[in-house]
Amino acid sequence: MLIRKLFKFENAHIVRNCSSDRCRRSIHGHSYKVEVLLEAHALDHGQMVYDFGLMKGTIKDVIDAFDHAICFWDKDDAEYIRLCKEFSARWIALPVSPSAEQFARLFFVLIDAILKQTVMKNGEADVLLHSVIAHETDTGYAQAFRDDAYNPRMGSIALADIVFSDQVRAEWGDPQLYDKLQSGTPLVNPDVTLQVKI
Ligand SMILES: Nc1nc2c(c(=O)[nH]1)N=C([C@H](O)[C@H](O)COP(=O)(O)OP(=O)(O)OP(=O)(O)O)CN2
């Protein structure tokens, strides 16, 4: 069974080397919508694949980091990168270009790491990230599956190569969030008291 939760953020970028002229050499923004699809073959004690409420913890925090930020490819022109950092407190350096395709892959890698480190407390069984859909506009989206996220032919994405500005990190409920994610620190879900014996 699949469940899906939708997240939203506003973000600015340039996508170098693309065919669309407006896209490749003018900073522009999008109101992104990100669909996170989780898969399981059994249900938790609440008879859910994974409580939507739990997805509003670390998963939401990581996606929200991209809100009101500028993203740039770390291979972009050094002066452009310097100016992005100078004029925007919220910036994110990426190891890949910020196309819809790469956003879908980036979020897959980030959320996959979160789920792998999450200590589930309510009987959740084999919850896996199925795919991530990144809507760049109302009419265009990309969907990344596991094979895409870790496909070196599409560019390698390591957590250490996604760099969040100090301002982005400071605005997290837990400013150590990304350090914890990189070091494999367990992310423990809240304990649950069962009202009905099973
Ligand atoms: N496959 C992709 N194609 C394009 C991407 C992308 O990420 N993946 N990105 C862009 C630009 O960022 C552009 O801003 C969006 O392009 P487009 O869909 O053409 O935008 P419109 O606002 O013109 O959309 P309409 O709904 O068709 O008006 C370009 N291509």
Calpha distance 147→128 (Å, rounded): 14
Calpha distance 165→153 (Å, rounded): 28
Say how many Å lie between the CA of residue 33 and the centre of ligand 1: 14
Say how many Å lie between the CA of residue 140 and the centre of ligand 1: 6
Residue 124, domain member (yes or no): yes
Residues carrying an active site annotation: 23, 68, 136
Residue 15, domain member (yes or no): yes
Residue 195, domain member (yes or no): no
Residue 27, domain member (yes or no): yes
For residue 184, the one-letter residue type is G
Calpha distance 160→152 (Å, rounded): 16
DSSP category for residue 9: E
Per-residue pLDDT of the chain (198 residues; tens, 9 = 90+): 999 999 999 999 999 999 999 999 999 999 999 999 999 999 999 999 999 999 999 999 999 999 999 999 999 999 999 999 999 999 999 999 999 999 999 999 999 999 999 999 999 989 999 999 999 999 999 999 999 999 999 999 999 999 999 999 999 999 999 999 999 999 999 999 999 987
Determine if ligand 1 sits within 6 Å of the CB of residue 26: no
The CATH number linked to 125 is 3.30.479.10
Structure token digits, residue 130? 């199925």
Residue 74, domain member (yes or no): yes
Burial of 9 (0-12, 13-18, 19+ CB in 10 A): middle
The pLDDT value recorded for residue 28 is 97
CA nearest 169: which of 83, 91, 54?
91
Contact 48, 77 (CB under 8 A): no
The pLDDT value recorded for residue 97 is 98
Residue 28, domain member (yes or no): yes
Say how many domains are in the chain.
Answer: 1
Contact 182, 110 (CB under 8 A): no
Residue 130, domain member (yes or no): yes
Contact 5, 39 (CB under 8 A): no
Q: Nearest residue CA, atom 18 of ligand 1?
A: 140
Domain of residue 96: give its range.
Answer: 2-188
Whether the predicted model's global pTM rises above the 0.90 cut? yes
Sorted by sequence, the CB contacts under 8 Å of residue 68 that are 6+ apart come out as 9, 10, 11, 90
Residue 99, domain member (yes or no): yes
